[in-house]
Structure 1
Amino acid sequence: MEWDVLLNDKRRRESAVTRSKSTDIRSAFENDYQRIVMSASFRRLQDKTQIFPLEKSDFVRTRLTHSIEVSTIAKSMGNMVSHKIIEDGLDPSFKSEHAEKIADILSCTGLLHDMGNPPFGHFGEESIREWFKENLDVLEYDGKKLTAILTEQMKQDFYHFEGNAQVLRVVSKLHYLFDEYGLNLTHATLNGVIKYPVSSLEINKKQIRSKKLGYFYADEAIF
């Protein structure tokens, strides 16, 4: 396993300030974590309900609360797995610095994992899919039918809208806090939220590998 390649801390747009000349002692992944926490995209999760309890004595749990919990658990699990690898000597190339990076990356991906999900979770996803199936062929842009402009894969992206895949698009393209690169997160953090090895054209729900897969065509131009 080439850990230095997998745990790549490069960004799509590198900073103009070199770390050797900077007083910033944070690692690239710690920087990712703070970028996410301070972003408007992350704060908006407070308006998305995760659980709406019926008990009067309980309180509504939001996606923001849920994501913080997932981030904490993910980091702990990463630490446990890393400890196991080092303690049992499962991979001599795996070092303590790799363990630290894995924990930080998992902490970031835990914060990000629900950022692209619409309100009402899977019901919201299904509503978006149904709306586009019913309305995409009547939408127009610049006097032309939208279906005549979009490629087949673009159409399928709408018909198979996937909230988890939308995370990549939000942080890499739609979030303009810094520039056109979105949050400009490290390659390793971005790879951590890519869970879909097939496009919307290849989705086959009868196959396990395609049950929850798909990525937005627009993201292809990101890398």
Structure 2
Amino acid sequence: MEEDLPPATEKAQALLQTFSSASLLASTGIGAFCLLADHVLQLNALQHHLWLRAVLDNTVHGVIGLWSWAIVIGVRKKSDFYEVILAGILASLIDLDHFYMAGSLSLKAATSLAHRPPLHCSTFIPILCLSLRLVLWLGRLKDSWCSLPWMLFISLASHHIRDGVRHGLWVCPFGNTAPISYWLYVSITATMPHLCSVLMYLTGTREVISTKHGIAIDV
């Protein structure tokens, strides 16, 4: 019967699923995870193990990225699982630019840079996402890969917001903002998947994904 629903009704249901009880519970879980993970990273036992702390911190970035994307698309089949893992990897790989900028595998050198590395410039997020969307459109892949720019947005933005607690956001060429308050970071991280879903709905991306893959986008 669901296939016989009018298009407007299907769209309304898809939008309501963005704020389903399951997706809201999952986003609350992200907030709780941020609190727990950051508490663990502040333990005295980790402060003298720089590599372990760096790996754990990067893992938290990855988990937030994959968890956020899981809320956006849901995980109902194997291809969804692969997308979620890719989102987590993208959120983690950003920190490799520290080593690129340092020209060394030394963690001390990578974390003692005079300037922030290129992938940590928040101005690049909309530029990269819009450029990818243009490339997909020019290559006539806008339907098959339409969610990829949004995945990139979630992965990059979640990483930048978390880093912003310590350093603020680097909005080149205007400089750095003030550090983001901790509770604002947690709130943004928890609500970003819903914002992304609404934007995907407004741009028609959700409809394309649901039509081609039969996905109801929530957790």
Instruction: Normalising by structure 1, report the TM-score.
Output: 0.27
Structure with bigger gyration radius = 1
Instruction: Normalising by structure 2, report the TM-score.
Output: 0.28
Query: Which structure is richer in relative contact order (CA contacts within 8 A, separation 6 or more)?
Result: 2
Structure with higher helix content: 2
Structure with higher strand content: 1
